[in-house]
């Protein structure tokens, strides 16, 4: 888990998370496969298209990203902190590639009612468990046995659901439309699977084909600057054996070419201090995009 801190006031304002492997013997990765089925009767000259759900389990599943939480007052600031919370996970995966799986999964929220009601859960899950959506979601964090024990194993025809329940299957909710755009841009695709509770879509990517993983690299800090560079921004990080173990910032940097096959970068004194890095130290870097100068808070 990564914690985003506003250094000036010592306040944690956001978090994000990466889970090395989703699915193990005591807690499988559970999903609904979504497929289409067509039926036709020549006697009636009737043709129907059905969405069919079938529950699936994996005990050796993918890496999962998730857990992005950002306080509301920090969501629209120029620093694009939501992007920072998302990108830092891919830099970490790239720098510790052997600890992660061959695929990365992201579960997106579907449309929910303002009170948190899931129409898919009301149409399906509640009938098989007797639990509300919130009760089932809370219980599943600790124990998923009730899903395997009580959910139907065969095909479930969504055609028998109310229209509002059918519409949310695989649909991205308004609160995660931005996340969907980011994921598809860096290599994720909807994999015709959804969350068994609320129908939220699952997006999957080959780990080594994710552009942010490919762009991550080691570099050498070769200079500290008194003025902020006007070039690209990057997520930069250093790592230690003691808490907090990982320090990361999103700041402009200056590329200084390569030496001995190693990338070289320059940072401002404040950025180097935030990373607790000095000239000559190795840092980890994920370049982002051209930087437009803005007045920014001091965040790490």
Q: pLDDT (tens digit, 9 = 90+) per residue, 269-278?
A: 999 999 999 9
Length of the chain, in residues: 300
pLDDT of residue 143: 85
Mean pLDDT (the chain, rounded):
91
Which domain-ending residue is among 193, 209, 225? 209
Both 174 and 233 in one domain: the answer is no
Of 187, 209, 231, the residue at which a domain comes to its end is 209
Could you count the other beta carbons within 10 Å of the beta carbon of residue 276? 11
Instruction: From residue 270, give the alpha-carbon distance in Å to each of 63, 98, 213.
Output: 34, 32, 26
Contact between 69 and 14 under an 8 Å Cβ cutoff? The reply is yes
Which is it for the CA torsion 57, 177, 210, 20, positive or negative? negative
Which residue is associated with the tokens 């898919």? 120
What is the spatial distance between Cα 251 and Cα 228, in angstroms, rounded to a whole number?
9
Tell me: do 110 and 197 sit in the same domain: yes
Classify residue 225: in a domain, yes or no.
Answer: yes
As a whole number of angstroms, the distance between CA 4 and CA 14 comes to 5
Do residue 134 and residue 196 come from a single domain? yes
DSSP string, 118-183: -HHIIIIIHHHH---HHHHHHHHTT--HHHHHHS--S-EEGGGS-HHHHHTTTPPPGGGHHHHHHH
pLDDT of 85-142, one tens digit each?
999 999 999 999 999 999 999 999 999 998 888 999 999 999 999 999 999 989 988 8
In a domain? residue 185: yes
Q: Are residues 232 and 205 in the same domain?
A: no
259 vs 93, more confident: 93
Task: Provide the 3-class DSSP secondary structure of residue 100.
Answer: coil
Report how many domains make up the chain.
2
Are 49 and 169 members of one domain?
Answer: yes
Q: Are 121 and 13 in contact (CB under 8 A)?
A: no
From the number of C-beta atoms within 10 Å of its C-beta (0-12, 13-18, 19+), residue 199 rates as buried
DSSP annotation of 211: H
Domain region containing 279: 216-290
Does residue 85 belong to any structural domain of this protein? no
pLDDT for residue 115: 86
Q: What are residue 64's DSSP bridge partners? A: 19, 105
What is the rounded CA–CA span in Å between residue 11 and residue 173? 29
Structure tokens of 289?
């995009």
For residue 175, is it within any domain? yes
Task: Of 120, 123, 280, 141, give the one whose Cα is nearest residue 197.
Answer: 120
Query: Within a domain: residue 257?
Result: yes
The reported pLDDT for the residue numbered 187 is 96
Residue 96 lies in a domain: no
pLDDT at 26: 80
Which has the closest alpha carbon to 221: 206, 205, 204, 236? 236
pLDDT tens digit string along 186-219?
A: 999 999 999 999 999 999 999 999 999 999 999 9
- Please tell me whether residues 193 and 117 are part of one structural domain: yes
Question: Taking the mean position of all CA atoms in its chain, how far away is CA 234?
Answer: 19
What is the predicted pLDDT for the residue at 232? 86
Tell me, yes or no, whether 132 and 199 share the same domain: yes
pLDDT for 298 equals 40
**What CATH code is carried by the domain that includes residue 228?**
2.40.40.20
In a domain, 75, yes or no: no
The answer to whether position 74 is within a domain reads: no
Cα angle 297, 223, 278; round to 5? 75
Are residues 162 and 265 both part of a single domain? Answer: no
More confident residue, 153 or 296: 153
Q: Count CB atoms within 10 A of the CB of residue 167.
A: 16
**281 SS3 class:** coil
Whether 174 and 52 map to the same domain: the answer is yes
Give residue 295's pLDDT band: very low, low, confident or very high (50, 70, 90).
Answer: very low
Question: Could you report the per-residue pLDDT of 223-234, keeping only the tens digit for each?
Answer: 999 999 887 899
Same domain? 286 vs 223? yes
Angle between helices 81-95 and 177-186 (to 10 degrees): 40
92 membership: H or E segment, kind and range:
helix 81-95
The confidence score (pLDDT) of residue 24 equals 85
Same structural domain for residues 152 and 231? no
294 pLDDT tier (thresholds 50, 70, 90): very low
Tell whether 37 and 175 lie within a shared domain. Answer: yes
Q: What pLDDT was estimated at residue 289?
A: 57
């Amino acid at each position: 888990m990564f914690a985003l801190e506003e250094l000036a006031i010592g306040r944690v304002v956001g978090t994000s998370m990466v889970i090395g492997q989703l699915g193990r013997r005591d807690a499988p990765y559970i999903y609904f496969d979504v497929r289409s089925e067509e039926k036709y009767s020549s006697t009636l000259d009737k043709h129907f298209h059905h969405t069919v759900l079938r529950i699936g389990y994996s005990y050796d599943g993918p890496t999962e990203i998730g857990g992005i939480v950002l306080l509301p007052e920090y969501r629209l600031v120029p620093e694009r902190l939501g992007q920072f919370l998302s990108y830092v996970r891919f830099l970490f995966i790239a720098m510790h590639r052997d600890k992660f799986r061959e695929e990365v999964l992201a579960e997106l929220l579907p449309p929910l009612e303002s009170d948190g009601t899931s129409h898919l859960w009301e149409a399906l899950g509640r009938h098989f468990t007797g639990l509300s959506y919130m009760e089932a979601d809370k219980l599943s964090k600790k124990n998923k046995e009730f899903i395997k024990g009580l959910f139907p194993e065969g095909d479930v025809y969504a055609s028998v659901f109310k229209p509002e329940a059918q519409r949310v299957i695989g649909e991205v909710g308004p609160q995660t439309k931005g996340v969907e755009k980011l994921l598809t841009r860096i290599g994720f695709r909807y994999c015709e699977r959804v969350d068994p509770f609320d129908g939220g879509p699952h997006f999957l990517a080959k780990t080594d084909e994710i552009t942010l993983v490919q762009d991550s690299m080691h570099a050498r800090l070769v200079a500290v600057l008194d003025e902020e560079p006007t070039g690209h921004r990057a997520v930069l990080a250093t790592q230690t054996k003691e808490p907090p173990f990982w320090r990361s910032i999103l700041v402009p940097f200056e590329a200084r070419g390569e030496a001995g096959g190693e990338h070289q970068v320059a940072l401002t004194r404040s950025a180097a201090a935030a990373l607790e890095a000095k000239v000559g130290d190795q840092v980890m870097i994920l370049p982002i995009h051209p930087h437009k100068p803005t007045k920014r808070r001091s965040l790490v």
